[in-house]
C-alpha cells in the first residue's frame, strides 16, 4: 500500500485522505466505533454512594487507615475520608451492604455514626453535553 499526503494512520489502520469524513475520523480515533461496542450506547453501571460519619479521625494517617480498612472489607470503586468533615464517602456496586463498611471501620478503631445512602452516577469529562 502506498501512502499519500493527507492519509491518517491510527494504530495499524490507514485511513485514506479521499472519502474521509469528520464523524468517521472522530469515531475511530476515540475508540467509540458503534460496531465495536454493539448498540453504540454507553454501558452504565448502577452504583451507590455511602456517606458514613466517622469519629476519631484526627489526621491524614487516620484517613488512610479508614480508607484501607474499607478497601480490604469489600470491592469499592472509590473511597475518600476527611478528618476535618468527620466522614467517609464510599462508592460501591449497588446492593453492597453498608454494615460491611461500618464493621471494617469500627475494627480499625473508629466510631461510626449515621450512614446515608444514595444512587450514584459517574460523571464523565463531557457529561454536561449529554442531556
In 3-state terms, what secondary structure has residue 43? coil
What pLDDT, on a 0 to 100 scale, did the predictor assign at position 124? 73
What pLDDT, on a 0 to 100 scale, did the predictor assign at position 125? 76
What pLDDT, on a 0 to 100 scale, did the predictor assign at position 4? 61
**How crowded is residue 112: how many other Cβ atoms within 10 Å of its Cβ?**
20
Exposed e or buried b for every residue in 57-90, given b needs 16+ CB within 10 A?
beeeebbebbbebbeebbebeebebebeeebbbb
Q: Give the architecture-level CATH label for domain 47-120.
A: 2-Layer Sandwich (3.30)
H/E run at residue 53: strand 47-55
Domain ranges of the chain: 8-37, 47-120
What pLDDT, on a 0 to 100 scale, did the predictor assign at position 29? 47
Q: Is the pTM of this model over 0.75?
A: no
Q: Which residues contact 105 (CB under 8 A, 6 or more apart)?
A: 52, 54, 66, 69, 70, 88, 112
Residues of the chain with pLDDT below 50 are: 20, 22-23, 25-26, 28-41
What pLDDT, on a 0 to 100 scale, did the predictor assign at position 80? 97
**How crowded is residue 55: how many other Cβ atoms within 10 Å of its Cβ?**
10
Q: How many residues does the chain have?
A: 131
Q: How many CA atoms lie within 13 Å of 119's alpha carbon, on the beta-carbon side?
A: 4
Q: Are 50 and 90 in contact (CB under 8 A)?
A: yes
Amino acid at each position: 500500500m502506498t501512502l499519500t499526503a493527507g492519509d491518517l494512520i491510527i494504530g495499524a489502520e490507514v485511513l485514506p485522505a479521499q472519502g474521509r469524513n469528520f464523524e468517521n475520523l472522530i469515531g475511530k480515533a476515540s475508540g467509540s466505533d458503534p460496531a465495536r461496542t454493539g448498540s453504540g450506547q454507553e454501558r452504565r453501571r448502577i452504583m451507590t454512594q455511602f456517606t458514613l460519619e466517622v469519629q476519631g479521625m484526627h489526621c491524614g494517617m487516620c484517613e488512610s487507615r479508614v480508607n484501607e480498612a474499607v478497601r480490604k472489607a469489600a470491592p469499592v470503586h472509590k473511597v475518600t475520608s476527611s478528618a476535618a468533615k468527620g466522614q467517609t464517602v464510599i462508592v460501591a456496586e449497588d446492593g453492597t451492604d453498608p454494615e460491611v463498611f461500618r464493621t471494617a471501620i469500627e475494627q480499625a478503631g473508629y466510631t461510626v455514626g449515621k450512614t446515608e445512602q444514595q444512587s450514584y452516577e459517574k460523571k464523565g469529562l463531557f457529561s454536561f453535553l449529554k442531556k
